[in-house]
């Protein structure tokens, strides 16, 4: 009797599995699974019929509620959020080369490279060449600074059907960023009250920023990027705080750092 009961249980399980396999499965984002027969996969919704319900009734479900569909033949169809679907941005150029427009006026030239990682996110690195710019005080500055950060592009507060970014690199953003710099230049010694001498000294600086900015894209080719940021910084050298070409750092008693700029550039694939 025990053997017959075990065989009956195994047969029931086997038949149940076969019945499930013979149906399509709609997997919702809530982890719920709908066993049905899929009739139509549209741009916005899925239409299906339930096996044990009146065959004349057709149900529908919004694609936004679905993570995937598994058909009875084993084929699987994945669904992705339309707003963040990379396929919607195939024609967007995803790389940008920029220059800080006003940096040469302050004694350096700052060049940045940005690349899109996915919709809503990119990374940006900056190299500043200190000394490649105007030097009105003849300080003979020479050195570099580097910056790097992740740009988080703002998404809308609410979505409409079919909505997407106007461009994958366009929009308001927040960017956490690290900065580091090293340079040498002439500093005033002020040894005598009647004359001012200068000697060359080295400066090391660094900072961590939280930036806010907005980037505009024109014709998928040209861009403008305005930003400003605040954070904490440090410097070591003959001065306690001051302008370090890529950013400003406060004194040791008030180590606040700040930066701002306007970048222009072009996009490429």
pLDDT in tens, 201-217: 899 999 999 999 999 99
> Quick one: CA torsion of 53, 55, 60, 61, rounded to 10 degrees?
40
Between 156 and 111, residue with greater pLDDT: 111
Instruction: Specify burial of residue 164 (Cβ count, 10 A radius: 0-12, 13-18, 19+).
Output: middle
Q: Give the predicted TM-score (pTM) of the model.
A: 0.79
Q: For 76-97, b where at least 16 C-beta lie within 10 A, e where not — what string?
A: eeebeebbeeeebbeebbbebe
Average pLDDT, the chain: 88
Domains and CATH numbers, the chain: 20-79 (2.30.30.100), 86-268 (2.40.160)
Amino acid 192: pLDDT: 47
How far is residue 181's CA from residue 88's CA, in Å, rounded to a whole number? 39
Which range is least confidently modeled, 10-19, 21-30, 116-125?
Answer: 10-19
Question: Which residue blocks in the chain are alpha helix, DSSP H?
Answer: 2-21
Q: How confident is the model at residue 164 (pLDDT cuts 50, 70, 90)?
A: confident
Please say if the pLDDT value at position 193 is more than 50: no
Strands 59-62 and 108-118: unpaired
């Amino acid at each position: 009797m025990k053997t017959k009961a075990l065989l009956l249980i195994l047969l029931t399980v086997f038949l149940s599995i076969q019945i499930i396999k013979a149906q399509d499965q709609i997997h919702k984002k809530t982890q719920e699974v709908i066993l049905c027969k899929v009739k139509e996969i549209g741009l916005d919704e899925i239409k299906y019929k339930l096996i044990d319900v009146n065959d004349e009734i057709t149900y529908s479900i919004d694609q936004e509620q679905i993570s995937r569909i598994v058909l009875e033949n084993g084929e699987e169809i994945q669904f992705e959020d339309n707003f963040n679907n990379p396929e919607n941005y195939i024609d967007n150029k995803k790389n940008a080369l920029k220059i800080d427009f006003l940096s040469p006026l302050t004694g350096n030239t700052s060049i940045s490279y940005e690349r899109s990682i996915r919709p809503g996110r990119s990374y940006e690195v900056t190299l500043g060449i200190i000394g490649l710019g105007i030097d009105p005080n003849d300080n003979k500055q020479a050195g570099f600074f580097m910056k790097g950060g992740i740009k988080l592009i703002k998404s809308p507060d609410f979505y409409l059907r079919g909505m997407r970014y106007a461009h994958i690199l366009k929009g308001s953003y927040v960017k956490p960023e690290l900065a580091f710099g090293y340079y040498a230049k002439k500093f005033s010694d002020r040894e005598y009250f009647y004359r001012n001498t200068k000697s060359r000294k080295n400066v090391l600086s660094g900072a961590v920023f939280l930036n806010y900015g907005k980037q505009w894209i024109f014709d998928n080719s040209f861009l403008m990027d305005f930003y400003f940021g605040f954070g904490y910084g440090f410097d070591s050298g003959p001065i306690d705080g001051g302008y370090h070409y890529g950013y400003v750092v406060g004194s040791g008693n008030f180590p606040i750092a700040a930066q701002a700029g306007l970048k222009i550039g072009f996009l490429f694939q």
